[in-house]
Amino acid sequence: MSLTVIFGALAIVGAIGVFWWGLTARPSAARARLLAGLPQPCVPDTPASVISQVGQKARGLLPNPLVDGLEVKLVQAGHPYGLDLPRIVGIKVLLAALAALAVPVFGLPPLLMPVVAGLLFFLPDYWVTSLRDKRQADMQSAAADTIDQLTICVEAGLAFDAALNRVATTTEGPLADELRHTISDIEAGVPRQQALRTLADRAQIPEIRQLVTALLQAQKHGVPMAETLRLQSAEMRLKRKQRTEEKAAKLTVKMIFPIVVCYMPVFLIITLVPALISLFRAL
């Protein structure tokens, strides 16, 4: 094995390690609170900070729609692993540069370099999009139960902000995280209407947007909040039932391909082969 292949493999392993460090390395929250307001000592750059610096410089070279769309997806995905936009852009640039190293190491044609670089460059976008879709699906499934809890708290005599805080602190999941974010905005002085609209923009699911619209209309026209929440809860449960029935109806169509490809050949072999063997022996 030549030294070029060995050093190239070591470089790829090192790049993968830096990529993982960029995903997971986050400053300690306790250390940040301890050193708040104090002059920071000069420390050498960590791989995560280097990736952020590379991403910050590359951000100005990328088209604005591409960067803005990725930033929106990061917000909707809940900033997984503490990733911000500069770090994710730095990871994209690092993966694209990794393609330039992998092509000569593995002896691939040079014409494949742009293709491999493009695939690796957009790989984090696909990853963030998949996390966003999963998070939105989790919020969509938890919306009805969350609204039920809000309705119970409001009917028990709590104000809406107190009920929202109660539900946010006693439940877990991405929707509870968004509710806690909304409570923090309200406590920081953001008007309730604006905080709720921001919640709908971050969640980007029809249930939350419909709930926010109904709450704002109820507050504007003086409709009791408990009645509005009760109606929204019933509608959310009806929609969840309809989604389940829709998935069950699609299941028959989705099962056709595996049945035809996997089940039917085995069934025909079991049923027809013994009869054909007996026929040939009789002849």
**pLDDT tens, 205-239?**
888 888 898 888 888 888 888 888 888 888 888 88
Higher pLDDT, 31 or 166: 166
Report the C-alpha gap between 182 and 205 in whole angstroms: 16
Domains of the chain: 3-25+45-108 (no CATH), 137-240 (1.20.81)
pLDDT of residue 134: 92
Report the C-alpha gap between 162 and 134 in whole angstroms: 29
Angle at 3 between CA 117 and CA 16, to 5 degrees: 40
Whether pLDDT at 15 is above 70: no
Whether pLDDT at 25 is above 50: no
**pLDDT tens, 248-281?**
888 888 888 888 888 888 888 888 888 888 888 8
Report the C-alpha gap between 144 and 171 in whole angstroms: 13
Report the C-alpha gap between 97 and 100 in whole angstroms: 5
pLDDT of residue 4: 55
- Among 74, 26, 71, which Cα is nearest to 47's? 26
Mean pLDDT (the chain) is: 78
